Amino acid sequence: MTEKISGFEERQSVVVRFAGDSGDGMQTVGERFTDSSVVVPNAIATFPDFPAEIRAPAGTIPGVSAFQVHFGSREILTPGDEPDALIAMNPAALKVHLDDLTQGGMLVVNTGAFTPENLKMAGYESNPLEDPELAKKYELVPIDITELTKEALKDSALKTRDKLRCKNFFALGFTYWVYGRPLDPTTRFVQDKWGKKLPEVAEANVQVLKAGYFFGETSEIHRNRYMVTKAVVRAGRYRKISGNEALVLGLVAGARQAEKELVYSGYPITPASSILEMVSTYKHFGIKSVQAEDEIAAIGVALGASFAGSIGITGTSGPGMCLKSEFMGLAASVELPLVICNIQRGGPSTGLPTKTEQSDLLQAMFGRHGESPLPIVAAMSPSDCFPVAYEAMRIAITYSTPVIILSDLYVANGAEPWRLPDLSEFSPIEVPTPNTDGPYRPFERNPETLARAQAIPGTKGFEHRLGGLEKNDAGEVSYDPENHEHMTEMRASKIQRIADSYAPLIINGEPEGDVLALAWGGTFGAVTSAVRTLQAEGYKVSSVHLRHLNPLPNDLEATLRQFKKVIIPELNTGQLAMLVRARYLIDAVPLNKMKGRPFKVAEIRDAILNLIPS
CA 371 to chain centre: 30
* Per-residue pLDDT at 498 exceeds 80: yes
Task: Give the CA dihedral 580, 412, 45, 560, nearest 10 degrees.
Answer: 10
135 and 263 fall within a common domain: no
Task: Write out pLDDT tens, residues 212-254.
Answer: 999 999 988 777 899 999 988 788 888 899 999 999 999 999 9
User: Looking at the domain assignment, is residue 483 inside a domain?
Assistant: no
User: Looking at the domain assignment, is residue 447 inside a domain?
Assistant: no
216 and 119 fall within a common domain: yes
What CATH number does the domain containing 265 carry?
3.40.50.970
217 and 258 fall within a common domain: no
Listed range (28-37, 47-56, 129-138) with the worst mean pLDDT: 47-56
248 and 214 fall within a common domain: no
* Per-residue pLDDT at 7 exceeds 90: no
Of the pLDDT bands very low, low, confident and very high (cuts 50, 70, 90), residue 1 is very low
Q: Which helix (H) or strand (E) holds 17?
A: strand 13-21
* Per-residue pLDDT at 6 exceeds 80: no
* Residue 18 φ/ψ region, left for φ over 0, alpha for ψ in the -120 to 50 degree band, beta for the rest: beta
Of 183, 202, 227, at which residue does a domain stop? 227
Question: Residue 220 has what pLDDT?
Answer: 80
User: Looking at the domain assignment, is residue 310 inside a domain?
Assistant: yes
Nearest to 520 by CA among 387, 346, 407, 380: 380
Question: Residue 200 has what pLDDT?
Answer: 95
Following DSSP, what letter does each residue of 472-484 receive, concatenated? -TTS-B---HHHH
Of the pLDDT bands very low, low, confident and very high (cuts 50, 70, 90), residue 5 is low
* Per-residue pLDDT at 55 exceeds 80: no
What CATH number does the domain containing 210 carry?
3.40.920.10
194 and 264 fall within a common domain: no
Cis preceding linkage at 348, omega within 30:
yes
Question: Residue 465 has what pLDDT?
Answer: 85
Of 425, 451, 485, at which residue does a domain stop? 425
What share of the chain has pLDDT > 90, as a percent? 88
Mean pLDDT of the 138-148 span: 96
Of 400, 425, 450, at which residue does a domain stop? 425
User: Looking at the domain assignment, is residue 405 inside a domain?
Assistant: yes
Mean pLDDT of the 20-28 span: 93
Are 254 and 392 in contact by the 8 Å Cβ rule? The answer is yes
User: Looking at the domain assignment, is residue 488 inside a domain?
Assistant: no
* Per-residue pLDDT at 529 exceeds 90: yes
Q: How many other CB atoms are found less than 10 A from the CB of residue 281?
A: 11
| Domain extent at residue 337 | 239-425
CA distance 68 to 42: 15
- Judge residue 126's burial from the number of C-beta atoms within 10 Å of its C-beta, 0-12 exposed, 13-18 middle, 19 or more buried: exposed
402 and 264 fall within a common domain: yes
Are 368 and 332 in contact by the 8 Å Cβ rule? The answer is yes
pTM reported for the whole predicted model: 0.94
Q: How many other CB atoms are found less than 10 A from the CB of residue 173?
A: 26
345 and 319 fall within a common domain: yes
Mean pLDDT of the 415-420 span: 93
74 and 174 fall within a common domain: yes
Put the strands of the sheet holding 563-570 in their side by side order: 507-508, 541-546, 513-520, 563-570, 589-592
Amino acid, res. 46: T
Task: Write out pLDDT tens, residues 65-93.
Answer: 999 999 999 999 999 999 999 999 999 99
CA distance 113 to 146: 7
539 and 563 fall within a common domain: yes
303 and 223 fall within a common domain: no
Count of domains observed in the chain: 3
CA distance 521 to 243: 12
211 and 304 fall within a common domain: no
Are 454 and 258 in contact by the 8 Å Cβ rule? The answer is no
Are 33 and 172 in contact by the 8 Å Cβ rule? The answer is yes
Of the pLDDT bands very low, low, confident and very high (cuts 50, 70, 90), residue 433 is confident
User: Looking at the domain assignment, is residue 437 inside a domain?
Assistant: no
Question: Residue 2 has what pLDDT?
Answer: 46
* Per-residue pLDDT at 442 exceeds 70: yes
CA 226 to chain centre: 29
- Crossing angle (nearest 10°) for helices 243-257 and 385-398: 30
What CATH number does the domain containing 577 carry?
3.40.50.920
148 and 223 fall within a common domain: yes
User: Looking at the domain assignment, is residue 588 inside a domain?
Assistant: yes
Beta-strand relationship, 262-266 and 238-242 = unpaired
User: Looking at the domain assignment, is residue 489 inside a domain?
Assistant: no
